[in-house]
């Protein structure tokens, strides 16, 4: 996750990559609420919520390149008694794009 130095308006700056996620979660009281849903891709259908819980520091890994991987265990789309591990990995560039979009949204 990006850490912005005071007064820095550019793309995110990654300091110690291993501690950056810890710093951000600590700043937010240790929790973010994250939701994940799934729905059919080729035909109309309603989204099904498969995950809704606070994001924990253990769910976030940052590699030596600054890539951030969020890994969660969520309900299976088809089976009620099964779970799956879902992961998304974002590069620093992708995180920067998300951050810029979020800043624009909150300024409006």
Count Cβ atoms within 10 A of the Cβ of residue 68 and give its class: 0-12 exposed, 13-18 middle, 19 or more buried: buried
pLDDT, residue 8, reads 37
Residue spans of the domains in the chain: they are: 17-107
**Do 17 and 63 meet the contact criterion of CB atoms below 8 Å apart?**
yes
Picking from 71, 74, 72, 67, the residue whose alpha carbon sits closest to that of residue 93 is 67
Whole-prediction pTM value?
A: 0.62
Query: Could you read off the pLDDT of 30-49 as tens digits, one per residue?
Result: 456 788 999 888 988 889 89
What is the overall mean pLDDT for the chain?
77
Confidence class for position 72, pLDDT limits 50, 70, 90: very high
Confidence class for position 29, pLDDT limits 50, 70, 90: low
- pLDDT exceeds 50 at position 2: no
């Amino acid at each position: 996750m990006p850490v912005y130095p005071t007064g820095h308006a550019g793309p995110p700056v990654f300091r110690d990559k291993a501690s950056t996620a810890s710093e951000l979660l600590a700043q937010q009281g240790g929790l973010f609420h994250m939701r994940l849903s799934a729905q059919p891709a080729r035909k109309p259908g309603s989204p099904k919520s498969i995950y809704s819980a606070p994001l924990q520091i253990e769910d976030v890994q940052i590699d030596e390149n600054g890539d951030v991987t969020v890994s969660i265990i969520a309900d299976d789309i088809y089976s009620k008694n099964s779970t799956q591990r879902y992961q998304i990995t974002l590069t620093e560039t992708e995180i920067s794009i998300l951050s810029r979009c979020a800043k624009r949204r909150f300024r409006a």
